[in-house]
Amino acid sequence: MQFPYQLAAKGKYSLKNVRLETGFEYDEEEVIRTKTDLFSIEIENGKIKSVNANDPASDAVDAKGFLMLPAFRDMHIHLDKTLYGLPWQALSPKRRTVKDMIAYEQEIIPELLKTSVERAEQLISLLQHYGTHYARTHFNIDPTSGLQSLENLEKALEHKKDSFKAELVAFPQHGLYYTDTAPLMKEAAQSKSVGFIGSLDPLSIDGNLEKVLDFTVQLALDHQKGIDIHLHEAGESGMKTINYLIDKTIENPELQGKTFISHAFALAHLSPKETERIAERLAEGKVGIASSVPFRGKVMPIPVLKKYGVNVLIGNDNVQDYWSTFGSGNMLQKANLIAELYGYETEWKLSRTLQFATQSILPLDDQGKQQWPKAGDDASIVLADASCSAEAVSRISPIEAFMNNGNLFWRY
């Protein structure tokens, strides 16, 4: 997909006829409707300068009554190795395990690297089509790629710098020791653009939980990075990894709030009592969970994790690549799936579910008090063809415009 928007305004300017949520309407104690009104918004230096009464007669940029929401954030994706932009290709039934996929990547990566800059840009354009302006993207660090996946991703992000931002995770997709990747990880950790250190299934791939996680934790500490590990392992090995990482964050408070477990499918196989116990421990260690929803029949205990205050991030993970063919790139669709999976059907619950697309920023708090946008907030927004957040989630409403750091882009 080519970039579907054109620059409409930047720097210092105003918007008029912006629809904002103002509160809830109740029938006794039940929220039955979300109230909205039209406003004018001033933008300056990448920030929202002020929110004012609407002035429809002004010469401001006309938002046409579209609903203003916080721009979306995809918090687990692989921009460096999409097949998006290439001819359609479904998954092969021959490759069933992570080690099967590692062997396949070793074959195809040299050819894919030749066009990875262009394909990463096309995938970013797809995300933007659906209102995403920010991503946490993992990129391969392995002996086949060397540092070229990082270098090519940095080029793509530089080309998109006015309309898109990302935080980067150095990801040893082929294992730290299953292939000789540890020296490359040390090199990647020195890059200023890398914000997180990753790892992959330490027991099933590298055969040594402590060795892998100790290396990962120490590398993060040495370079003041966060941690975001891929953990597909279920059962005892998965839970042992989760508990070991929690112990490490408790020992090293500087990692708290900066440590995440992606997938963590072991959590989907626990009893209710076990789920409550591990949710409490995750919250104690301030270890977050980054999940794609759903994933091959596994339903994560997101409501319980949220109940205990665990930071739950959502992303598309794979968007038409050789690992999965189901990622759409649409974070509103992810919120919609969560609403369907967990039965969030009422006006209030649907409005709360928007948080999984925006990563916790909501226009109204739980009591219906307006909390966004405020003067000083980042000028990163979308304009959706919807009457309220609940409708946007339920109907996966189209995005007509988006703003990144004060740069406004309008759909052609």
CATH number at residue 14: 2.30.40.10
Question: 193, 162 in Cβ contact below 8 A?
Answer: no
pLDDT in tens, 146-179: 999 999 999 999 999 999 999 999 999 999 999 9
Answer yes or no: do 107 and 52 share one domain: no
Answer yes or no: do 201 and 263 share one domain: yes
- The DSSP-derived string for 41-84 is EEEETTEEEEEEE--TTSSSEE-TTPEEEEPEEEEEE-GGG--B
Structural domain that includes position 60: 5-65+359-411
Answer yes or no: do 54 and 80 share one domain: no
What is the share, in percent, of the chain residues with pLDDT greater than 70? 99
Answer yes or no: do 155 and 302 share one domain: yes
Nearest 5°: the CA angle 251, 204, 243 is: 25
167 vs 165: CA distance, rounded Å: 7
Is 136 within the bounds of a domain? yes
pLDDT number for residue 86: 80
Answer yes or no: do 27 and 174 share one domain: no
At 270, the pLDDT band (50, 70, 90 cuts) reads: very high
pLDDT number for residue 90: 78
Is 350 within the bounds of a domain? no
Task: Outline where 68-192 has alpha helix (H).
Answer: 98-112, 116-129, 148-159, 182-188
Is 342 within the bounds of a domain? no
Do strands 5-9 and 399-404 pair parallel, antiparallel, or not at all (unpaired)? unpaired
pLDDT in tens, 332-375: 999 999 999 999 999 999 999 999 999 989 999 999 999 999 99
114 vs 94: CA distance, rounded Å: 25
Answer yes or no: do 135 and 209 share one domain: yes
Is 402 within the bounds of a domain? yes
Number of domains comprising the chain: 2
* Chain centroid to CA 248: 24
pLDDT in tens, 75-97: 999 999 888 878 887 777 777 68
Answer yes or no: do 174 and 216 share one domain: yes
Answer yes or no: do 193 and 260 share one domain: yes
Answer yes or no: do 153 and 296 share one domain: yes
Task: Kindly report the CATH number assigned to the domain that includes residue 213.
Answer: 3.20.20.140
Answer yes or no: do 60 and 90 share one domain: no
Domain boundary among 329, 350, 374: 329
Domain boundary among 329, 346, 370: 329
356 vs 312: CA distance, rounded Å: 8
Answer yes or no: do 314 and 189 share one domain: yes
Answer yes or no: do 114 and 206 share one domain: yes
